[in-house]
Structure 1
């Protein structure tokens, strides 16, 4: 493994003692995830299989969906686990370790989130900077703050290069609208793979989150605006 790579080691342990480990390594320059598993991939990972609406890739040049190939192992291992099953999730990074006793759905959502953001899907690539500072189990408020602040930081760098002349969330809102379509497409791919719901609900949670963030752009970030209000005495 590249010593400079950013990495995240997830371990999900169910109450019955079953353990699953997932190693995620990001290229330090491109922030693209190292492929989770080699070929052959299952038929549902082909790009042409229920391809996402508005996908900029073409089956003529791209055989597989870049996200699907990185979640095949994750989906296979958890397709028969119900979403409300309790588990202990531990995420180790180079700088610190996070842990939480939670549901299988929340644990999977955290793993799905970073995999989807770094699999080199053109629609999701704008999330790579946030994935670099991945925060497991983040709340909606935390994700809103991280997403918008990193977006504005990116706008600042573009402004310094003379590429943008204003700061607003229009572009971010459009980006999250496209993320919703990716979430819907991935859910369609895996809907029939298991008779239970943990992996499906993880995607549903991400879909709900992207919907919320899009709504927040319209309502001036109401859930975090109060943090910046000053008292009468300054």
Structure 2
């Protein structure tokens, strides 16, 4: 069966009556197809507050792919406070999810999927999760998905004849780099957003990047209770 493009519609209905709509379109390999109309603004240039771990060069691209693709969001929410109440809906082919929440939580959810699919070499490890996007995920849900996807990746690596990492010995290295990218993007949007909604959305994403290595160090004990019943699979 031919794979189809993936569409994700996010809607923000703020308490003051303001409505904001965003369409995310991914190709079958979960790479972002739509780019921002604000892609040429100065803070999106690759060399403007470039991430310390960036693997791209100005010879490859003039603009940071993540910055380019979140620019519309940053512009749309630059004068909105992070704790403003809103109703956020996420519509995919499979389901519609609606949550009464605050702006920073909805923004964190949509920014996460855009950043993971923008073509940043460091964030590309997160791209397979985009096909099965889970909006408004809790910390436990995020941990479960991240580790599960990482281990599935190792299965395919082994099938390809390469050396897998089933012991999670390398995952912390990846997430340290992801943390640096989040910090770099936060530095960029500090110069583009007047209020704190966009900034706090990135802070939320970065908190997850900081929590995961600690969870790995503790042998994922927060998830262990879900597997505490006797194993019935021989």
User: Aligned with 1:63: secondary structure?
Assistant: coil
In structure 2, relative to structure 1, the CA distance for the partners of 1:59 and 1:233 (3 Å cut) is closer
State the match for 2:150 in structure 1.
151
User: How far apart, in 1, do the equivalents of 2:12 and 2:128 lie?
Assistant: 25
1:169 equivalent in alignment to 2:147: no
1:27 equivalent in alignment to 2:27: yes
State the match for 1:44 in structure 2.
43
User: How far apart, in 1, do the equivalents of 2:190 and 2:63 lie?
Assistant: 18
Deviates more, 1:160-169 or 1:10-19: 160-169
1:203 equivalent in alignment to 2:202: yes
In structure 2, relative to structure 1, the CA distance for the partners of 1:95 and 1:233 (3 Å cut) is closer
In structure 2, relative to structure 1, the CA distance for the partners of 1:28 and 1:101 (3 Å cut) is same
State the match for 2:180 in structure 1.
181
Aligned length: 232
CA contact (8 A) 2:37 2:72 kept: no
1:6 equivalent in alignment to 2:6: yes
User: How far apart, in 2, do the equivalents of 1:126 and 1:233 lie?
Assistant: 32
User: How far apart, in 1, do the equivalents of 2:34 and 2:45 lie?
Assistant: 15
1:74 equivalent in alignment to 2:85: no
Residues 59-70 of structure 1 mapped to structure 2, 5 A cutoff: 59-70=58-69
State the match for 2:133 in structure 1.
134
User: If the length of structure 1 is used for normalisation, what is the TM-score?
Assistant: 0.94
Structure 1 residues 18-55: Cα deviation after superposition (integer angstroms, max 9, x where no partner): 011111111103x1101332465100000000100110
Q: Cα RMSD between the aligned structures?
A: 1.9
In structure 1, list runs of 5 or more residues that go unmatched: none
